[in-house]
Amino acid sequence: MSRLNPRQQEAVNYVGGPLLVLAGAGSGKTSVITRKIAHLVQNCGIRASHIVAMTFTNKAAREMKERVGTLLKGAEARGLTVSTFHNLGMNIIRKEYARLGYKPGFSIFDEGDIKALLSDIMQKEYAGDDGIDEIKNYIGSWKNDLILPDQALAEARTPKEQTAAIVYLHYQRTLKAYNAVDFDDLILMPVKLFQEHADILEKWQNRIRYLLVDEYQDPNPSQYLLVKLLVATPNQFTVFGDDDQSIYAWRGARPENLMLLKEDYPSLKIVMLEQNYRSTSRILRCANTLISNNPHAFEKQLWSEMGVGDEIRVIRCRNEDAECERVAMEILTLHLPTDRPYNDSAILYSGNYQAKLMELKLQHHQIPYRLSGGTSFFARQEVKDLMSYFRLLVNPDDDNAFLRVINVPRREIGSATLEKLGNYATERKVSMYQAAGEIGLGEHLDSRFTERLARFTRWMDGVRQQCAQNDPIAALRSMVMDIDYENWLRQNASNDKVADARMGNVWFLIEALKNTLERDEDGDMTIEDAIGKLVLRDMLERQQEEEEGADGVQMLTLHASKGLEFPYVFIIGMEEEILPHRSSIEADTIEEERRLAYVGITRARETLAFTFASKRKQYGEIIDCTSSRFLDELPPEDLQWEGLEEAPVEVKAARGNAALADLRAMLKK
């Protein structure tokens, strides 16, 4: 999109005070953000190093930074910060660790680390870890609401809350002892730091002369407060949001943030981006009509100049098998006669469990597909092993990393030895790594085991020294060779090909560290910082990055589809208790589910089809299904219903086979 429309231009030019840009789906928001950054630098005299743009995913941050790079000339872009909330939080902690009572090179705990630590605490305190997920959720919610352990304990009302608050207290103390933080701390700690230290807040406010925040309907209370604190008195900020696309209540997002802005900043200006550059008018009319059933603080109507477009199809199928078969046939009908790429089509669904049967049908018809949410690169065994070695190099007090690598490869140090080491470390109030090198450990362990432990810590100390003195990347490569990790993989892999692929991941990881160091603009990044960035990237990008250029039907959840667009969209499972989900019907939280359906509809550029089953198998029983109430809320004149007549099964099967035969014959011509 080369020229901006009048509303977009207004959003770019306005710098006289706080600005809220209500950016509807497909309204060219990224263009506005990137042009505004360029405008601030080139026309408003604000250096790029004083501008911070925040968003929620690394992918969005990367795209934004690349697009700004094409608008600004070389030196103009130097020092610009485009990052996720959590990356910014990590950088604040990295610079201010001493005031927080931390040592440099802190560790960031991932999901696995958190669960392992909580399990350990619960085993010690309650002789069991039942309900660990519930306690983890309590702790996450408290942190998002800026509630520290003492306050959580004081306010706990039920026995469950009291248990969770006591575990939270132990958990936070242990994290501090390990010189570690978890994902939620990356926001909580900077907020608390700014609230308690006016001098540090002032320093960061002076550094950030202009703040831009994307997806402003998604921050939880701690993220909202972080933004509020960083914005200094001149109110130099622009936030972009769409309350109709707020679909993350389960992780603390609150669409009310957009309404709070008006209270917090009475001089707030609002610009609405309603022209859509993605979808046909009919698709947008359906989206507008559906979402009008939700209450709104701001009324907007998406419109486009893309033509009226085809009718929206609603296809009723006999059962879930017939539904998946029908979608597969529709995709073949779209793609085989015209040779359109398969990745023009997307199949969207409410939950991942719906994907399996659809996958089998696509495989049966030899339709290539790409399933979003595969195994994360960082979730692979070999990558987790190496990351634990790296974490231990950076932070010897990281007990989780120590426990993961002490026997990878095996060093004949058993669980009984580790238990005694752990108890000794707790008594001494030191980390397991430090305890492993202390003379006093000999009173609790046989000399054979103390020697093995001491040998390991001496070797790690040597690697750490090499990292500091010489080329750190060369030192890490040597470390992998020293432990004969490749041989360890071969012993534990099903065949040599698997072992080779896993070893390839190890070298790829070290190469990624090297690239992170080389891309540092300021030149002050240490190997510790680079490892910290990789750990954070792992947590922010649990989804495996798809192989570039591979053709295939896109299969993904409605949540994962946000921000994407496809020419042809199929939304499957449009039934009561699936979309809207049963839990939302019971809890009367239908509005978020309606927003989820709205997000799905606005992904479609040219054609949109909904499918639902009249019967489904559930827990071994066949149940009758009801079409989603959201279908009844769409404008009937824009819908074309199919499959309402009950033809005999044999007739339908014959029709399907004939259609498939026609397609195959067409291909042979």
Please give the positions annotated as active site.
29-30, 214-215, 245, 603
**In this structure, how many other beta carbons lie within 10 angstroms of the beta carbon of residue 518?**
10
**C-alpha–C-alpha distance, residues 569 and 574, integer Å:** 13
Q: What are the C-alpha distances in Å from 113 to residues 132, 176, 391? A: 13, 14, 12
**C-alpha–C-alpha distance, residues 561 and 538, integer Å:** 20
**C-alpha–C-alpha distance, residues 152 and 448, integer Å:** 46
**C-alpha–C-alpha distance, residues 565 and 581, integer Å:** 24
**C-alpha–C-alpha distance, residues 71 and 100, integer Å:** 38
Three-state secondary-structure class, residue 514: helix
**Cβ 298 vs Cβ 258: under 8 Å:** yes
Provide the pairing of β-strand 237-241 with 615-618: unpaired
Task: Transcribe 386-433 into DSSP letters.
Answer: HHHHHHHHH-TT-HHHHHHHTTSS--S--HHHHHHHHHHHHHHTS-HH
Task: Indicate the residue type of 231.
Answer: V
Q: What are the C-alpha distances in Å from 217 to residues 23, 243, 255, 402? A: 11, 6, 5, 40
* Assigned token pair, 373: 């949410």
Q: What are the C-alpha distances in Å from 518 to residues 393, 465, 521, 526? A: 20, 21, 8, 11
Tokens 């707030």 appear where?
268
Task: Transcribe 298-352 into DSSP letters.
Answer: S----B-SS---PPEEEEEESSHHHHHHHHHHHHHHHHTTTT--GGGEEEEESSG
- Residues paired with residue 210 on neighbouring β-strands, in sequence order: 51
**C-alpha–C-alpha distance, residues 325 and 380, integer Å:** 33
* Assigned token pair, 184: 């939620």
**In this structure, how many other beta carbons lie within 10 angstroms of the beta carbon of residue 97?**
17
Give helix 111-126 / helix 159-177 axis angle, nearest 10°.
Answer: 120
Torsion, Cα of 636, 642, 647, 650 (10° steps): -170
Look at residues 359, 373, 283, 370 and name the one whose alpha carbon lies nearest to residue 327: 359
Tokens 């499959």 appear where?
643
**C-alpha–C-alpha distance, residues 128 and 120, integer Å:** 9
Provide the pairing of β-strand 566-571 with 269-273: unpaired
Three-state secondary-structure class, residue 664: helix
**In this structure, how many other beta carbons lie within 10 angstroms of the beta carbon of residue 178?**
22
* Assigned token pair, 652: 């339908």
- Whether cis (ω within 30° of 0) applies to the bond prior to 409 is yes
**C-alpha–C-alpha distance, residues 278 and 566, integer Å:** 9
Task: Indicate the residue type of 10.
Answer: E
Tokens 């010897």 appear where?
396
* Sheet of strand 51-55, all strands in order from the earlier edge strand to the far edge: 81-84, 51-55, 210-213, 237-241, 19-23, 269-273
- Residues paired with residue 447 on neighbouring β-strands, in sequence order: none
